[in-house]
Amino acid sequence: GAVVSQHPSWVICKSGTSVKIECRSLDFQATTMFWYRQFPKQSLMLMATSNEGSKATYEQGVEKDKFLINHASLTLSTLTVTSAHPEDSSFYICSATQNRNSPLHFGNGTRLTVT
Amino acid sequence: AQKITQTQPGMFVQEKEAVTLDCTYDTSDPSYGLFWYKQPSSGEMIFLIYQGSYDQQNATEGRYSLNFQKARKSANLVISASQLGDSAMYFCAMSAMDSSYKLIFGSGTRLLVRP
């Protein structure tokens, strides 16, 4: 089945630094990937839609300059949390789909802790 | 705007019994998809079952079935013969059948299977 790999699975960084999270579709091409954020005991909130070769579409309230998304190829999207602060600590999870008739497949998520 | 509602924050079920997890939705789109995902404590999102808005029959996948009642705008998940490994968070989600195919999630239901 379709596999989405996310790396790293967890990261601890100091306040003010930037962190890059990678999302790869391993056995299919994903023209569209999605980035979600999940706080403890809460649901997944869509942050942005990442489109290969074009700018990401951000959901209302998500700072595009803070959460930089790059979708350079059909198998890779990256999320960079710039100048991270403790309130950015969360579980970030990406997803990808092959086409409109296929379900979304999720990566295993990245737990970010900003100290 | 689309909205997904899961009114059961937590549910208990005895092992080997069936359980129904509720999900209602609201959308003005004529074409949409409904999904259920399982999230164990490890964090990954596991796709369980999908129902298209134009599907005439309720979707089934092994022990999972989706009780789709379009007029009531409900898409309840039925898990038959519960197993201890079914203990997890369960999220109902909806997508619009536009080009973005992004998912909007409900708040989730935590299911605990008792031995």
Q: Nearest CA of chain B to the CA of A106: how many Å? A: 6
Residue A42 has what DSSP assignment?
S
DSSP per residue, B61-105: ETTEEEEEETTTTEEEEEE-S--GGG-EEEEEEEEESSSS--EEE
**How wide is the angle at C-alpha A10 spanned by C-alphas A31 and A113, nearest 5°?**
110
CA B102/CA A100 separation, integer angstroms = 10
Q: Which pLDDT band, with edges at 50, 70 and 90, does A30 fall under?
A: confident
Q: Which pLDDT band, with edges at 50, 70 and 90, does B100 fall under?
A: low
Chain A residues near residue B100 by CB distance under 8 angstroms: 32, 49, 57
Contact assessment for residue A107 and residue A4, using Cβ atoms and an 8 Å cutoff: yes
Find the CB nearest B101 among A32, A44, A106.
A32
Interface of B with A in 41-80 (CB under 8 A): 42-45, 47, 50
Range A42-61 burial, b when 16+ CB lie within 10 A, else e: ebbbbbbbbbbeeebbbeee
**Chain A: residue whose CA lies nearest to B49:** A103
A103/B50 touch (CB, cutoff 8 Å), yes or no? yes
Task: Tally A–B CB contacts below 8 A.
Answer: 53
Instruction: Inform me whether the pLDDT recorded for B71 exceeds 90.
Output: yes
The predicted pLDDT at position A100 comes to 62
Instruction: Inform me whether the pLDDT recorded for A8 exceeds 90.
Output: yes
- What digits encode the pLDDT tens for the residues A45-81? 999 998 888 889 999 999 999 999 998 888 999 999 9
Range B36-47 burial, b when 16+ CB lie within 10 A, else e: bbbbeeebbbeb
